[in-house]
């Protein structure tokens, strides 16, 4: 009987330790959780009145820890680089935006692209994201894209996965 009580007690203690450990590892998230640079791999499609436009690209996004972001990217639309201001390396640049992070490590963001030379407004991308691995990874899904010079969003099926960039000291 003593042996059964000892085994039962050990099982209860082990279960409590696992539960406590699980509770300790879930830390609430905030905008500061993702402060830093993330390398994104982007893939999907836009559904425009002219037809489907396949998107494939990469991006480097900086989250400032205080709800603002900046980004540079290199994206192909049906195999052709997307237009926009380029930096010296050929990446689209001057993309800025805002983001919010919820305590449950979900969030949303908006990226505003520069207005084209002969335009009235730049493109706007809105997306949701999930933070994982203590802020080392982001997974996103685009909810809408408003093309340049338009006020009407087009449907999108675009997702991206990102990892935090470890900058050398």
Residue 12 lies inside a defined structural domain of this protein: no
How far, in whole angstroms, is CA 110 from its chain's centroid? 10
Residue 4 lies inside a defined structural domain of this protein: no
Q: Are 129 and 105 in contact (CB under 8 A)?
A: no
Query: So what's the pLDDT on residue 118?
Result: 84
Q: How many domains does the chain have?
A: 1
Query: Helices marked H in the chain — which ranges?
Result: 2-25
Residue 9 lies inside a defined structural domain of this protein: no
Residue 127 lies inside a defined structural domain of this protein: yes
Query: So what's the pLDDT on residue 62?
Result: 97
b/e 14-46 (16+ beta carbons within 10 angstroms → b): eeeeeeeeeeeeeeebbbebbebbbebebebbb
Domain that holds residue 65: 31-164
Residue 13 lies inside a defined structural domain of this protein: no
Measure the CA–CA gap between 145 and 124, rounded to whole angstroms. 6
What does the pLDDT profile of the chain (169 residues) look like in tens digits? 565 555 555 555 555 544 444 445 668 999 999 999 999 999 999 999 999 999 999 999 999 999 999 999 999 999 999 988 899 999 999 999 999 999 999 999 999 999 988 889 999 999 999 999 999 999 999 999 999 999 999 999 999 999 999 865 4
Residue 137 lies inside a defined structural domain of this protein: yes
pTM for this predicted structure = 0.81
Ramachandran class of 36: left when φ > 0, alpha when ψ lies in -120 to 50, beta otherwise = left
């Amino acid at each position: 009987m003593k042996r059964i009580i000892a085994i039962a007690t050990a099982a209860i203690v082990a279960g409590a330790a696992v539960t406590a450990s699980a509770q300790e590892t879930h830390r609430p998230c905030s905008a500061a959780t993702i402060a830093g640079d993330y390398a994104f791999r982007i893939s999907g499609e836009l559904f425009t009145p002219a037809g489907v436009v396949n998107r494939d690209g990469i991006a480097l996004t900086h989250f400032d820890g205080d709800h603002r972001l900046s980004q540079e990217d290199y994206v192909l639309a049906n195999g052709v680089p997307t237009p926009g201001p380029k930096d010296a390396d050929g990446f689209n640049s001057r993309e800025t935006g805002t983001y919010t992070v919820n305590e449950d490590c979900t969030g949303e963001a908006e990226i505003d692209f520069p207005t084209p030379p002969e335009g009235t407004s730049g493109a706007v991308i809105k997306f949701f994201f999930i933070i994982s691995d203590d802020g080392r990874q982001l997974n996103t899904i685009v909810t809408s894209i408003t093309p340049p010079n338009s006020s009407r969003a087009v449907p999108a099926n675009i997702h991206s996965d990102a990892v935090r960039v470890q900058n050398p000291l």
